[in-house]
Chains A and B, each alone.
Chain A
Amino acid sequence: MSAHATSTNRFLRIFGGPFGALLALLYAVGVTYLLTLDPRSLLARLLLFSALALIYFIPQRPAVKFLLGALLVLMVVPAVGLRNPFLLEIGFQVAVFATLALGLNVVVGFAGLLDLGYIAFFAVGAYLWAFFGSQQIWHIDEPPGTFTVYATFPFPAWWFWLFIPLGILAAAGMGIILGFPVLRLRGDYLAIVTLGFGEVIRVLANNLDKPINLTNGPQGITPIQRPPLPEFLTNPALLATLSQWAGRPINANDIYGFFFYFLGLLILGVTIIIARRLDRSKLGRSWTAIREDDVAAVAMGVPLRRTKLTAFAIGAAFSGAMGVLYAANRTFVSPETFSLTASISILVMVILGGLGSIPGVVMGAAVVTLLNIDILQSLSLQLSSLRQGADSIPLLGIPWKNLPTQLDPARYQRFFFGLLLILMMIFRPEGMVPAERARLELHEDEGEAILNAEIEGDIAPDEKLAD
């Protein structure tokens, strides 16, 4: 973990050694305590997130960091989630978007192919399960909004497990279909075509309600089946115990919260491992090579076509799996979710976190998702509760209730993204957790110092090796 060692600043250094590990643990315990005091507190949630980020950055052995992280993610979050299920929901969404961002990172970060329609592959996975996991197949001849909801489904719910690999295959196939026509394009041209592709998928979802009703148009498909829970999880004795711990009734729906949280984490974990391993393989090097200089890459024997297509296919595959999971989690899928802004959000996560950097991208996804569904929403909520009261804004003396609703923080989501991106580009263009490569670039001076030391006295080194 030399990357961390060199970037460790004085603040983080206090977390080194066994004492530091204890300190980090104490911090985690403190955050947990705050969370149990008030499971609904935004501040406590943010501190929890900061604890996770801190654990990543501290100078400890990977095993120690992994243990601390697992403690928070696998034990603290579910435990607090018993009392505040929203925490699990946030965790699930972060896992979903982190996986999407990792997929986009393969295409944009590793292979350097700017894809502005990435959400389309997520849509493919989501609609795949939405169609087969709902009653849509029975309504294929009926226009939207005219049919009744039945109590049974055409296919058993456990097919969900089959559709995760199918979603991967379908999205990867779509990746290749998109890849072919754009093989010859670069830069801006590529961006425009992929943007168009993303829109085509969304418009198709919007309009494929006639002549045969495949997507149910703008109304979306619902209800979508969730995978059956194993018996032992819905056992009344267990639910009763959990209810006692939580201090509120826990039903099967709550169990689904845990189920999706852990399944999301599992898929995210697998995605991280695959992305890491590919990055450090021949294929990963080929991606970087075509990003750096495709003519030179081809001249070195890298097949351009196949390398680009695998980038599109593998990037898409990640989001295909998450699409299926997302459809089951929401039990509802509509074209709205797959808009251009969604594609751009994911791109923002990748750029914010650090192009080509796996931990960066995950962190970027977490920050953007938190901002999106938690921080701004919570602030809006607090503002609206202030608006109900008779208090005035301090210093200004204007009553809260006269504050126009246009100032609602949730409405400024795009504004905050824009601001965040601009600030990042000015102060930290390589992202929050820069990729190893970007880091090396920024430490050119250090690199040259080493270089010069080694070169001294090395006039004609080839002769020494002439044996």
Chain B
Amino acid sequence: MSVILELNKVTKRFGGLVAVNAVDLRIATGSISSVIGPNGAGKTTIFNTITGIYRPDEGDIRFDGQTIVGMRPDRITAQGMCRTFQNIRLFHNMTVLENILVGAHTKTPSTAWGAVLRTRQFKRAEEEARQEAQRLLLYVGLPRGLGDQLARNLPYGQQRRVEIARALASKPKLILLDEPTAGMNPQETESATRLFRKLRDDLGITVVLIEHDMKVVMGISERISVIDYGQKIAEGTPAEVRTDQRVIEAYLGRHAESTIISMH
């Protein structure tokens, strides 16, 4: 089993608060994994540390066998890792197509000189990028013709899809999805889950999710890591994690069982 992403004892502190505490994580190439945990457990901080937005205080992060600690976020994206955000961060005043084109930044070979001189190479690169963006738009299940709309005008569920299309435009080997079904209704969630599986099955992209919807997590993940108070408290297949005592405690509280009993 080859490993695409490996975290070794990664620690991130904010002042006195240890947001991520010596977390080890191994993501197998071509897998679908989830990171779960209660609110404030440090899941998003782990994503931010992986993608270079934060620099870890300790530990090593290896992507494709190469350390990426201290690398600029845009360089990390160029290496083949891309993400979406928990609180959708589209470029609201750009069109949907432009959003996706920004995602294709590292894969569009056009230069500023080419743009000013309108070289043939520039025109070809732009045209190809546009066609690819249009293709991605359809791929993530958005209707044709949506490309010219401003991102801000889209309903929530569609914005989530645009964010995924934008991330796909960087042609990633690994995609990190931060609560991608938050705020979706059951149908939308189901359709989104199918899309995540498609990313792996059709495109061969390794998928890592942060997710709260246990139906999604249990249904799609091959491996689940559970984070609580910045530490990894459990790891395994959905079946293993479901029955893990520490996980139950983390989610329901230490005296969950007794509380439930006493309520009756």
Q: Interface on A for B, CB 8 Å cutoff? A: 274, 277-278, 280-286, 288-289, 292-293, 295-304, 310, 314, 437-438, 440-441, 444, 447-448, 450-451, 454-455, 458-463, 465-466
Contacts and interface: CB of A to CB of B under 8 A. Distances in A.
Nearest to B135: A465
Interface string B82-111: 110100011111110010011101101011
A299 B99 CA distance: 13
Contacts of B129: 282
A281 B194 CA distance: 34
Interface string B132-173: 000000111111111001101111000000000011011000
A460 B106 contact: no
Given A281-B122, A300-B105, A447-B150, A461 B143 contact: yes
Contacts of B145: 450, 454
B105 A293 contact: no
A298 B53 contact: yes
Nearest to A464: B141
B82 A278 contact: no
A281 B110 contact: yes
The 5 closest A-B pairs by CB, nearest first: A462-B141, A281-B115, A301-B77, A301-B106, A292-B91
Interface in B68-83: 72-74, 77-78, 82-83
A303 B76 CA distance: 11
A interface majority secondary structure: helix
B215 interface: no
B94 A288 contact: yes
A343 to B, nearest CB: 26
Given A278-B115, A281-B126, A454-B145, A462 B91 contact: no
Interface residues of B, number: 58
B205 to A, nearest CB: 15
Interface string B196-214: 0010000000000000000
B187 interface: yes
B198 A303 contact: no
B103 A454 contact: no
Contact of A289 (B102, B118, B169): B102
19 contacts: A274-B116, A282-B110, A282-B115, A282-B129, A285-B102, A289-B91, A289-B102, A292-B92, A292-B93, A298-B53, A300-B103, A300-B167, A302-B74, A310-B112, A441-B150, A441-B152, A454-B145, A465-B139, A466-B198
A437 B116 contact: no
B195 to A, nearest CB: 5
A284 B187 CA distance: 38
Contacts of B101: 282, 285
Contacts of B105: 282, 285-286, 300-302
B259 to A, nearest CB: 40
B74 A460 contact: no
Given A300-B170, A302-B74, A285 B94 contact: yes
B89 A460 contact: no
Given A289-B102, A462-B191, 14 more contacts: A274-B116, A277-B118, A281-B122, A282-B108, A285-B94, A295-B53, A295-B89, A298-B53, A300-B105, A301-B106, A310-B112, A450-B145, A450-B149, A451-B149
A126 B172 CA distance: 48
B51 interface: yes
B74 to A, nearest CB: 5
Given A295-B53, A298-B73, A301-B105, A461 B142 contact: yes
A334 to B, nearest CB: 34
Interface of B: 51, 53, 72-74, 77-78, 82-83, 85, 89-95, 98, 101-103, 105-106, 108, 110-112, 114-116, 118, 122, 126, 129, 138-146, 149-150, 152-155, 166-167, 169-170, 187, 191, 194-195, 198
B153 A301 contact: no
Given A285-B101, A301-B74, A451 B146 contact: yes
A283 B141 contact: no
Contacts of A437: 93-94, 150
A300 B143 contact: no
A131 B31 CA distance: 66
A74 B103 CA distance: 43
B52 to A, nearest CB: 8
A151 B235 CA distance: 87
Nearest to B112: A283
Contacts of B144: 454
Nearest to A440: B150
Contact of A298 (B74, B90, B111): B74
Contact of A302 (B102, B116, B169): B102
Contacts of A463: 191, 194
Given A460-B141, A460-B187, A466-B198, A301 B150 contact: no
A282 B143 CA distance: 24
Nearest to A448: B153
Contact of B93 (A295, A441, A466): A441
Contacts of A460: 141, 187, 191, 194
A295 B154 CA distance: 21
Contacts of B155: 455
A292 B141 contact: no
A300 B106 CA distance: 8
B141 to A, nearest CB: 3
Nearest to B94: A288
A455 B122 CA distance: 34
Contact of A297 (B91, B92, B95, B122): B91
A64 to B, nearest CB: 23
B78 to A, nearest CB: 5
A361 B198 CA distance: 47
A33 to B, nearest CB: 40
A293 B118 CA distance: 28
A295 B102 CA distance: 13
Given A277-B118, A444-B153, A301 B78 contact: yes
Nearest to A274: B116
A285 B154 contact: no
A274 B149 CA distance: 26
Given A299-B77, A299-B82, A458-B143, A288 B91 contact: yes
Nearest to A296: B89
